[in-house]
Amino acid sequence: MPRTLSIASPILRVALPSPLRRLFDYLPAASAPACGWQPGLRVRVPLGRREVIGVVMELAEKSELPQAQLRAVSEALDDAPLPADWRWLCRFTARYYQHSLGDTLANAMPARLRQGHPMAGRTQTLWQRSPTSPAEPNFGRATRQAELWALLGQHPHGMPGRAISAHGFSHDTLTRLAQKGLIESREITLTAPASPSGHLLASPALPLNREQAAVLAALHEKLDGFHPCLIEGVTGSGKTEVYLQLIEAVATKGKQSLVLVPEIGLTPQTLARFRRRFNVPVLALHSGLTDPERLDVWEAATSGRALIIIGTRSAIFTPLANPGAIIVDEEHDGSYKQQDGLRYHARDLAVARAHHHQIPVVLGSATPSLESLQRGLDGTYRHLHLTQRASRHPPAKIELTDLRHQPRQGGLLPGAIKAIKHTLKAGKQVLVFINRRGFAPTLACHACGWIADCDACDARMTLHRHPPLLACHHCDSRRALPDACPDCGSGDLRALGAGTERTEETLQGLFPKTPVYRIDRDSTRRKDSFEQIIKDIQRGEPCLLVGTQMLAKGHHLPHVTLVVVINADGGLYAADFRALEHSAQLLEQVAGRAGRAADPGRVLVQTLHPDDPHLSQLAEHGYGALARHLLEERRIAQLPPFSFMALLRVESPQIDAATTLAQDAALYLHEWVNTQQSPVRCLGPVPAPMERRQNRYHLHIMLSADKRSQLHQAASVLVQWLEQSRDARRVRWSLDIDPQTLV
Ligand code: ADP
Ligand code: ZN
Ligand code: ZN
Distance 504 CA to ligand 1 centre (A): 32
Percent pLDDT > 90 in the chain is 68
Using DSSP's 3-state secondary structure scheme, residue 189 falls into strand
CA of residue 593 relative to chain centroid, distance: 21
Protein residue with least CA distance to atom 20, ligand 1: 238
The dihedral sign for the CA sequence 569, 570, 573, 578: negative
How far are the Cα atoms of 137, 232, 391, 396, 627 from residue 387, in angstroms, in the given order?
69, 8, 12, 13, 16
Residue 648, pLDDT > 60, answer yes
Protein residue with least CA distance to atom 6, ligand 1: 238
Among candidate residues 87, 114, 141, the one where a domain is terminated: 114
Distance 30 CA to ligand 3 centre (A): 53
Check whether residue 528 and residue 572 sit in a common domain.
Answer: yes
Protein residue with least CA distance to atom 10, ligand 1: 236
CATH code for position 708:
3.30.70.360
Closest atom of ligand 1 to 212 CA is 23
**Does the C-beta of 388 come closer than 6 Å to ligand 1?**
no
Residue of 240, 259, 388, 590 best suited for mutating to test ligand 1, as the one with most atoms within 8 Å of CB: 240
Contact 646, 711 (CB under 8 A): yes
Residue 467 lies in a domain: no
Mean pLDDT of the chain: 90
Contact 673, 680 (CB under 8 A): yes
225-235: average pLDDT: 95
Among candidate residues 85, 114, 143, the one where a domain is terminated: 114
Helix (H) or strand (E) holding 496: strand 493-496
Residue 482 lies in a domain: no
Pairing of strands 183-189, 227-233: unpaired
**Does the C-beta of 332 come closer than 6 Å to ligand 1?**
no
Length of the chain: 743
Binding site members: 445, 448, 454, 457, 472, 475, 485, 488
Binding site members for Zn(2+): 445, 448, 454, 457, 472, 475, 485, 488
pLDDT in tens, 305-357: 899 999 999 999 999 999 999 999 999 999 999 999 999 999 999 999 999 99
Check whether residue 224 and residue 299 sit in a common domain.
Answer: yes
Closest atom of ligand 1 to 207 CA is 23
**Does the C-beta of 209 come closer than 6 Å to ligand 1?**
yes
The dihedral sign for the CA sequence 130, 134, 136, 140: negative
Between vectors from CA 50 to CA 46 and to CA 51, what angle results, nearest 5°?
Answer: 50
102-126: average pLDDT: 85
Beta bridge partners, 445, equal 493
Residue 479 lies in a domain: no
Residue 674, pLDDT > 60, answer yes
SS3 letters across 135-175: CCCCCCCCHHHHHHHHHHHCCCCCEEHHHHHHCCCCHHHHH
**Does the C-beta of 269 come closer than 6 Å to ligand 1?**
no
190-207: average pLDDT: 72
Check whether residue 162 and residue 286 sit in a common domain.
Answer: no
Check whether residue 627 and residue 658 sit in a common domain.
Answer: no
How far are the Cα atoms of 261, 299, 635 from residue 302, in angstroms, in the given order?
20, 5, 42
Between vectors from CA 493 to CA 487 and to CA 495, what angle results, nearest 5°?
Answer: 130
Closest atom of ligand 1 to 241 CA is 6
Amino acid, single-letter form, for residue 408: R
**Structural domain for 181, as ranges:** 123-189
Residue 714 lies in a domain: yes
Using DSSP's 3-state secondary structure scheme, residue 701 falls into strand
CATH code for position 178:
1.10.10.10
Check whether residue 239 and residue 378 sit in a common domain.
Answer: yes
Cα–Cα distance, 682 to 416 (Å, whole number): 47
Distance 56 CA to ligand 1 centre (A): 47
CA of residue 334 relative to chain centroid, distance: 7
Instruction: Look at residue 120 in the predicted model and tell me its pLDDT.
Output: 65
Check whether residue 342 and residue 236 sit in a common domain.
Answer: yes
34-58: average pLDDT: 94
CATH code for position 81:
3.40.1440.60
Instruction: Look at residue 503 in the predicted model and tell me its pLDDT.
Output: 94
Residue 520 lies in a domain: yes
Instruction: Look at residue 124 in the predicted model and tell me its pLDDT.
Output: 64
Among candidate residues 82, 114, 146, the one where a domain is terminated: 114
Check whether residue 729 and residue 629 sit in a common domain.
Answer: no
437-443: average pLDDT: 92
Instruction: Look at residue 597 in the predicted model and tell me its pLDDT.
Output: 64
Burial class (CB in 10 A: 0-12, 13-18, 19+), 143: exposed
pLDDT in tens, 26-44: 999 988 888 899 999 999 9
Amino acid, single-letter form, for residue 108: A
Check whether residue 426 and residue 541 sit in a common domain.
Answer: yes
**pTM check: above 0.75:** yes
Instruction: Look at residue 8 in the predicted model and tell me its pLDDT.
Output: 54
Residue 196 lies in a domain: no
Q: Residue 367: which of 634, 636, 550, 625 has the closest Cα?
A: 625
Residue 490 lies in a domain: no
Check whether residue 626 and residue 666 sit in a common domain.
Answer: no
The residues whose Cβ lies within 5 A of ligand 2, an ion, are: 445, 447-448, 450, 485, 487-488, 490
Instruction: Look at residue 265 in the predicted model and tell me its pLDDT.
Output: 78
Confidence of residue 596 (pLDDT cuts 50, 70, 90): low
Contact 208, 245 (CB under 8 A): yes
Check whether residue 100 and residue 225 sit in a common domain.
Answer: no
- Residue 531: count of CB within 10 angstroms of its CB: 14
Check whether residue 425 and residue 533 sit in a common domain.
Answer: yes
Check whether residue 226 and residue 336 sit in a common domain.
Answer: yes
CATH code for position 417:
3.40.50.300
Q: What is the DSSP-derived secondary structure letter of residue 261? A: -
Cα–Cα distance, 274 to 240 (Å, whole number): 9
Instruction: Look at residue 136 in the predicted model and tell me its pLDDT.
Output: 85
Instruction: Look at residue 5 in the predicted model and tell me its pLDDT.
Output: 46
Residue 365, pLDDT > 90, answer yes
Instruction: Look at residue 376 in the predicted model and tell me its pLDDT.
Output: 98
Confidence of residue 646 (pLDDT cuts 50, 70, 90): very high
Protein residue with least CA distance to atom 4, ligand 1: 236
Residue 428 lies in a domain: yes
Residue 115, pLDDT > 80, answer yes
Domain count, the chain: 5
Give φ, ψ of 386 to 5 degrees. -125, 105
